[in-house]
Homo-oligomer: A and B are copies of this chain.
């Protein structure tokens, strides 16, 4: 029996629901007994001539001197690791350390796999898309959503992106995804994306909203296999005391046999490692579960097919950050800095004329959303704010502007909001004088 057949059998028997959710591509991938596989088997040989990377013959990197100097802040072992190939699944120490980091407030009885390393969080999403999306598959999101979902899920795999309003009457609508799911034929597998704290929303659900959201997804799984991708890009960045901070992934694990939660997270925001591209893909099964091994084989095949192996250099940087006592303190310093900006921005936004600009719920993440008055086009507003007010925001159809307060100095936020108000008022006036 081929490796692919064996792995597919494990999945089919372990979870017929997960098997049903796999895309055609997801069904045909398995990590091949190729060079990385053979190199792993030869790891302890005296004469190891398996792998095509240039070393001194004792497994040490032969860096060019300027690169070696640039990484002189690392110890010799870490520098070697940074310069040589990472295993396709990621460095073992990084996977272990990230799993501990993910689970630092999670009970032992809740299973999760050893995370697989990807080339940034987007790569984790695109591999999840390869596994579970595909031609015709419904992928459900709430609007406004991160635009790149369209490229990653719809354009690449041929899935159908279906969206519904995230907010109703100025509040989060927790049942939006479940209602979207109900529009698909009964029995038909669907993929739902949860992104909290949200981009572009900057919102994390309250305890009540969270319970309603989770329950509605569990109910939706009565009618169909339901893959729930938790895009936890902004994990931990929550600024109000009473809001639960944990990933919704943990609330979904084990809730329904037809509900398959998948966690996609990364070092990008939590460890401010934007340029490093270290993401992770985690499944809701224990590390020693044969399901975990089978899914790992599929993910490794896709990682190998798309990028060869994940970035070793920035895995080593992340390991430095995770390995020291006080990783949580470093992250907390960053969160507190953003929390100050958040409070300053909230104060400025609270003084806006609500007739002119609506402010959507915001308590987390990196962004706040404002809603433009009817008849003011967001793209026109964006250009006007750049040209006339030296203010750069992101336009989001049909009528939003997104403020990325994560990249603006605290003291600049009031002026930014004044510019926004003034620029939009000018456009609103033009519009009314034109009519």
Interface, chain A (partner B; CB < 8 A): 25, 28-29, 32, 34-35, 38-39, 41-43, 45-59, 61-67, 69-74, 78, 81-86, 119-123, 126, 130, 147-148, 150-152, 155-156, 199, 269, 271-277, 301-302, 304-314, 316-318, 320-321, 323-324, 327, 330-331, 333-334, 337-338, 366-367, 382, 386, 389-395, 403-410, 412, 415-416, 419
Question: Closest residue to A277 on the B side, CB-wise?
Answer: B311
For A334, the chain B residues whose CB sits under 8 A away are 54, 62, 64
11 A-B pairs besides A34-B147, A52-B269 with CB distance below 8 A are A48-B392, A49-B403, A54-B274, A55-B407, A57-B410, A63-B272, A67-B273, A83-B274, A148-B304, A275-B312, A306-B307
CB pair B276 A311 closer than 8 Å: yes
Kindly identify which residue among B41, B58, B314, B382 contacts A392, using a CB–CB cutoff of 8 Å. B41
Kindly identify which residue among B52, B74, B147 contacts A199, using a CB–CB cutoff of 8 Å. B52
Q: If the complex has contacts A48-B408, A71-B73, A156-B305, are A337 and B62 also in contact, measured as CB distance less than 8 A?
A: yes
CB pair A69 B73 closer than 8 Å: yes
For A82, the chain B residues whose CB sits under 8 A away are 275
For A331, the chain B residues whose CB sits under 8 A away are 64
Question: Closest residue to A320 on the B side, CB-wise?
Answer: B66
CB pair B83 A276 closer than 8 Å: yes
Chain B: minimal CB distance from A239 (Å)? 14
A52 to B82, CA, bound (A): 26
CB pair B307 A64 closer than 8 Å: no
A-B contact pairs, 14 of them (CB 8 A): A28-B155, A34-B148, A50-B392, A50-B394, A51-B407, A59-B407, A67-B321, A70-B78, A123-B307, A156-B302, A276-B312, A276-B313, A277-B307, A306-B306
Q: If the complex has contacts A35-B394, A49-B393, A67-B317, are A406 and B55 also in contact, measured as CB distance less than 8 A?
A: yes
Copies in the complex: 2
For A71, the chain B residues whose CB sits under 8 A away are 70-71, 73, 317
CB pair A394 B38 closer than 8 Å: yes
A321 to B65, CA, bound (A): 8
CB pair A311 B308 closer than 8 Å: no
For A313, the chain B residues whose CB sits under 8 A away are 275-277, 311, 313-314, 317
CB pair B47 A415 closer than 8 Å: yes
For A62, the chain B residues whose CB sits under 8 A away are 272, 334, 337
For A65, the chain B residues whose CB sits under 8 A away are 330
A49 to B391, CA, bound (A): 7
For A301, the chain B residues whose CB sits under 8 A away are 151, 155
CB pair A47 B416 closer than 8 Å: yes
CB pair B42 A392 closer than 8 Å: yes
A405 to B226, CA, bound (A): 49
